[in-house]
Amino acid sequence: MNVLSLFDGMSCGQIALERAGIKVDNYFAAEIKKHAIEVTQHNYPNTKQLGDVTKINGLNLPKIDLLIGGSPCQDFSRANKERKGVEGSKSSLFFEYIRLLKECKPKYFLLENVIMSDYNYWFICNELNCEPVRICGSLVSGALRDRLYWTNIPPFSYDLTGRLISNIPQPKDKKIYLQNILDSGTTKKRKHTCLNTKSGYQTPNQDSLIHRNKTTGMITLIYEKDCVRTVNQNELEKLHNIPKGYTSILNQTKAGDLIGDGWSVDVATHIFKNIL
């Protein structure tokens, strides 16, 4: 199988395909972030890096069997006050996904993104002629990560207009809680919240962490005997079902940036298994 991964990041899609038991002959990746490419090549040295997604001509690639990607979500996210959606400078890269879908004509496609406004939701559905399945990563990990997956990977059905509707079932709840993945300490939260690109940043300022947690409720604190902390790099990897040490060539801040942008690997694995 030939795979084209857009906005590939550190290749969470490649981990998921491997776990799903799908043989990949060629994995083409569109990515421009330097440390993301370094992590991918460290773990999957045969990855064919193509660079800037806007510069890729799908007609120049071999036959692509699977097109995957999680286009930038910043302009869709409810955490963004402006929320320009598909018209935003970052999330408008969604149109590059559509362009390459038309150029490559893959047998299967998968597009992942955040929960968004009704307008943007239906805009994407209309572009793909597909309605997504909604799956939260909390079913397979210790982190909350509610996402939409537009895909023609079976099972699916069609509505009266001929639009594809994904019928992929929900993955079985593994009942993994945040406490289960901690290297040490205790937590008051069942699941980690707000796993984003800043999750790897560690501050020694205990008072700041406690204050932010009291005022926003959005900080996930770990209580040690003599201090409080946020999750460490090893715990961040486990929160996304990422193999231990996968990001070991980076410091924690850079690793957290990539992990916060990445997929819940076992959700993608659950979807990919339906290809078989």
Top pLDDT among 227 and 12 is at 12
Copy the structure tokens of residue 171: 């993955």
Rounded Cα gap, residues 186 and 194, in angstroms: 18
Q: What average pLDDT is seen over the chain?
A: 91
Task: Yes or no: say if 108 and 153 are a contact pair by the CB < 8 Å rule.
Answer: yes
What is the reported pLDDT for 92?
Answer: 78
| pLDDT, average across residues 131-137 | 97
Share of the chain above pLDDT 70, in %: 92
Rounded Cα gap, residues 98 and 16, in angstroms: 23
What is the reported pLDDT for 4?
Answer: 98
Band the pLDDT of 76: cuts 50, 70, 90.
low
| pLDDT, average across residues 7-14 | 97
Rounded Cα gap, residues 68 and 199, in angstroms: 25
**Which helix (H) or strand (E) is 38 found in, with range?**
helix 34-43
Residue 13 backbone class (left: φ over 0; alpha: ψ -120 to 50; beta: rest): alpha
| pLDDT, average across residues 35-44 | 98
Copy the structure tokens of residue 252: 């924690």
Task: Yes or no: say if 58 and 100 are a contact pair by the CB < 8 Å rule.
Answer: yes
Rounded Cα gap, residues 264 and 224, in angstroms: 27
What is the reported pLDDT for 253?
Answer: 92
| pLDDT, average across residues 199-225 | 80
Q: Is the pLDDT of residue 161 over 90?
A: yes
Copy the structure tokens of residue 117: 């406004």
Q: Is the pLDDT of residue 113 over 90?
A: yes
Tell me how far the alpha carbon of residue 174 is from its chain's centroid.
Answer: 19
Provide the pairing of β-strand 2-6 with 66-69.
parallel
- Beta bridge partners, 7, equal none
| pLDDT, average across residues 94-119 | 95
Q: Is the pLDDT of residue 243 over 60?
A: yes
Rounded Cα gap, residues 262 and 11, in angstroms: 8
What is the reported pLDDT for 178?
Answer: 97
Task: Yes or no: say if 147 and 261 are a contact pair by the CB < 8 Å rule.
Answer: no
Q: Is the pLDDT of residue 194 over 80?
A: no
Ordered structural domains, the chain, with CATH: 2-174+263-275 (3.40.50.150), 178-257 (no CATH)
Band the pLDDT of 197: cuts 50, 70, 90.
low
What is the reported pLDDT for 201?
Answer: 73
Band the pLDDT of 89: cuts 50, 70, 90.
low
What is the reported pLDDT for 214?
Answer: 82
Copy the structure tokens of residue 102: 């038309």
Tell me how far the alpha carbon of residue 238 is from its chain's centroid.
Answer: 14
Give start and end residues of each alpha helix (H) in 114-228.
118-128, 178-181, 206-216
Task: Yes or no: say if 67 and 6 are a contact pair by the CB < 8 Å rule.
Answer: yes
